[in-house]
Amino acid sequence: MGRGICACLTREGADVVVSDLDLERAGETAAAAEQAGRSGLAVQGDVTSEDDCGAVVRQALAAFGQVDIVVNNAGHFGSKLSAPFTTLTGEDWDENYEVNVKGPFFMCKAVADHMMERRSGKIVNISSISAKRDPVFLPAYAAAKNALLNLTRVVAKDLGPYNVNVNAVLPGLVWTPFWERLAPMLAAQDPDNPREPRAVFDEIAGSAVLGRPQTPEDVGNLVAFLASEEARNITGQAIHVDGGIAMG
């Protein structure tokens, strides 16, 4: 999803700094930005580390002189399904909170002074329809992604007087490595109805109002809009890109 977001931002003229635990994959996305005619910088970083988040911002400033847009896209649901919720461990809960809430907090904190000083900036947090659909098999993930919506509103209020917009995007069903891990787990929950993981995904995506899954670029197009001047009066909002599935 991050690569699709970067593609849409570079299309609109952005240079990108790509931070990931996996430096090789970050480098592939940065290279794609350069192939599109923009500059790309790959940085290894762990969003659960406040020091790493600060280092990412410092490296971005050293390379480009300013940071106009921050997209908090890292996401984590854990290593197992957790239904009922009593099967959750404290470690499961902490892992979800660390990546999905504390990570965006650290990144927002790291860039806040710079954006406040410039009186300009756009922050987009990537939440999830799980924040609204309350999937019983991912309670910690759903709770964390809902907490991210609250954090979005709080940061929007804090930074609004400095002309910084802060919004959240709630993607729907996007076939990514996240779903490549999740779909087999869901398939295993129904052994009497054997299906390939992609078939499980397509069945869920097909239940949306529009009857189809979303793409990384669908999410990226909204991020690019929220990062644009056309969205200068939109802040503190949570916007779905989900084919209408959250209405179900």
Establish whether 97 is a catalytic residue.
no
What residue type is 238 in one-letter code? Answer: A
Q: What is the pLDDT of residues 86-117, one digit of tens each?
A: 999 999 999 999 999 999 999 999 999 999 99
Strands (E) in the chain, as ranges, are 16-20, 40-44, 69-72, 121-126, 164-171, 238-241
- Per-residue confidence (pLDDT) for residue 193, from 0 to 100: 87
Is residue 145 helix, strand or coil?
A: helix
Spot the catalytic one: 77, 93, 97, 141: 141
Helix axes 103-118, 50-64, angle to 10 degrees: 40
The H or E element containing residue 27 is helix 23-35
Per-residue pLDDT of the chain (248 residues; tens, 9 = 90+): 999 999 999 999 999 999 999 999 999 999 999 999 999 999 999 999 999 999 999 999 999 999 999 999 999 998 899 889 999 999 999 999 999 999 999 999 999 999 999 999 999 999 999 999 999 999 999 999 999 999 999 999 999 999 999 999 999 999 999 999 999 999 998 888 889 999 999 999 999 999 999 999 999 999 999 999 999 999 999 999 999 999 86
- Per-residue confidence (pLDDT) for residue 247, from 0 to 100: 86
**Cα angle: 68, vertex 125, 162; to 5 degrees:** 45
Q: How many CA atoms lie within 13 A of 246 on its CB side?
A: 16
- Per-residue confidence (pLDDT) for residue 7, from 0 to 100: 98
- Per-residue confidence (pLDDT) for residue 239, from 0 to 100: 98
Q: How far apart are CA 54 and CA 186, in angstroms?
A: 37
Q: Which two tokens stand for residue 138?
A: 């991912």
Nearest in space to 106 (alpha carbons), one of 55, 147, 62, 65: 55
- Per-residue confidence (pLDDT) for residue 116, from 0 to 100: 98
- Per-residue confidence (pLDDT) for residue 248, from 0 to 100: 67
